Amino acid sequence: MSTFLDPHITLGEVKLKVSQLDRSIQFYEEVVGLKVLQHDEAKRVASFTADGQHTLLVLEEVPNAIVPQRRSNAGLYHFAILLPDRPSLSLALRNLIQTGIHIGQADHLVSEALYIADPDHNGIEIYADRSRAEWKRDAGGNYVMATDPLDIESLLAESEGLEWNGLPQGTVIGHIHLHVGDLRTSRAYYEGKLGFDVVGDYAQMSAVFVSAGGYHHHIGMNIWAGVGAVLPPANTVGLSYYTIVFPTPASRDTWLERLRGEGVQTTALGSAFVVHDPSGIAIHATVKAD
């Protein structure tokens, strides 16, 4: 376990580039169930929340946006919205069914997950964790996960008689899954430099999962867009950045000092510090608000 990455880190806001902001606002409100927190029409930027206070998602419309084919570049595979309990996931499923959107689904053993894509093909996972007591590791220390079919009837039964009012308080960004150009290099960076623990080395899937504090994964990496995949042009829809949130300024300072000692470039941007992984993906490091 890392001695310099605080085990209590969480993930914070994810920023995406989109081609049509108004269309995306409608999608994230009506289909996903987030609420608009701020909307700057002049700058073509909107932020979204579940609890009315904390930003989970930021969308920015980019001029002359390019919408690439799926799995064609380094960057976002999906970002994952973690719901506080199974009834909340059940309500989200009922709403998704009502919208008519295509829904993927999987029982990952550690969690139950629904998969959709936004109008720009940005991948979204909406999921609920099982109790940590139910998570199992194999002899190599990897969490035992699967892509078994969900028990849809059992899940829907959790919300019988309940009313959908959007995603509830307690909803957070649970993890993010990335297309990277080289799995070995990315693993070495996230483990050796950023300080995450490898909790899933899934060679058969060409994927690696890392986390802090024993979580089943905060960050997933794969080479499903091809070995050597690179970031697309700046005006391509997709991931702008994701955020690691530290519990205290001191915990972030310790981490930043270690990074700089390892030769990692850090750049101040407002209240955040920005680093880039080997694929060029931007990571913002912030401190939890009081």
Residue 66 pLDDT more than 90? no
Q: Are 106 and 15 in contact (CB under 8 A)?
A: no
Distance of CA 145 to the CA centre of its chain: 18
Residue span of the structural domain in which 150 resides: 10-287
Q: Does residue 257 lie in a domain region? A: yes
Q: Does residue 48 lie in a domain region? A: yes
Domain of 136, CATH number, reads 3.10.180.10
Count of CA atoms in the C-beta half-sphere (13 A) of 56: 28
Report the chain's mean pLDDT, rounded to a whole number: 96
Query: H helices within 225-280, ranges in order?
Result: 249-261
Q: Is 72 left (phi over 0), alpha (psi -120 to 50) or beta?
A: alpha
Q: Does residue 3 lie in a domain region? A: no
Q: Are 243 and 272 in contact (CB under 8 A)?
A: yes
Amino acid 1: pLDDT: 63
Gap between the Cα atoms of 239 and 282, Å rounded? 9
Which residues, listed in sequence order, are joined to residue 178 by a DSSP beta bridge? 76, 221
Q: What pLDDT, in 10s, does the model give residues 69-87?
A: 788 899 999 999 999 999 9
How many domains does the chain contain in total?
Answer: 1
In the chain, the percentage of residues whose pLDDT exceeds 90 is: 94
Q: Are 15 and 240 in contact (CB under 8 A)?
A: yes
Q: Does residue 214 lie in a domain region? A: yes
> Which residues, in sequence order, are CB contacts of 34 under 8 Å at separation 6+?
28, 48, 49, 50, 56, 57, 166, 167
Residue 3 pLDDT more than 90? no
Gap between the Cα atoms of 42 and 28, Å rounded? 20
Amino acid 2: pLDDT: 67
Rounded average pLDDT over 114-134: 97
pTM: 0.97
Amino acid 129: pLDDT: 98
Q: Does residue 4 lie in a domain region? A: no
* 3-class state of residue 146 by DSSP: coil
Q: What pLDDT, in 10s, does the model give residues 234-251?
A: 999 999 999 999 999 999
Residue 203 pLDDT more than 90? no
Amino acid 69: pLDDT: 79
More confident residue, 34 or 69: 34
Amino acid 204: pLDDT: 83
* 3-class state of residue 286 by DSSP: strand
Q: Does residue 201 lie in a domain region? A: yes
In the chain, the percentage of residues whose pLDDT exceeds 70 is: 99
Amino acid 4: pLDDT: 87
Gap between the Cα atoms of 82 and 217, Å rounded? 12
Q: Does residue 87 lie in a domain region? A: yes
Q: Does residue 30 lie in a domain region? A: yes
